[in-house]
């Protein structure tokens, strides 16, 4: 199986297979929970950093 994968050309790219393989991540509850929690934690960090940057400067 490994040799057949290595012998494939870059022109044999099938976007349907690629999308289907990546959609399979969401079928595993643990993986989907991890991905969503990571995305949400990054969003919170980004919002916090934006909030820190938007503090008005008092003179």
Provide the residue ranges of all domains of the chain, joining segments of one domain with +. 29-54
In percent, the amount of the chain with pLDDT more than 90 equals 17
For range 23-37, the mean pLDDT: 90
Predicted pLDDT of residue 53: 55
> Which position has the higher pLDDT, 13 or 15?
15
> pTM of the prediction?
0.44
What does the mean pLDDT of the chain come to?
76
The 3-class secondary structure across 15-47, one letter per residue, is HHHHHHHHHHHHHCHHHHHHHHHHHHHHHHHHH
pLDDT of 57 > 70? The answer is: no
Q: Give the mean pLDDT of 9-38.
A: 84
Residue closest to 25 by CA, chosen among 14, 38, 12, 8: 38
């Amino acid at each position: 199986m490994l040799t057949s994968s290595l012998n494939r050309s870059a022109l044999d790219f099938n976007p349907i297979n690629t999308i289907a393989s990546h959609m399979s991540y969401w079928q595993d509850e643990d993986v989907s929970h991890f991905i969503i929690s990571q995305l949400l934690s990054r969003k919170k960090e980004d919002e916090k950093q934006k909030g820190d940057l938007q503090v008005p400067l008092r003179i």
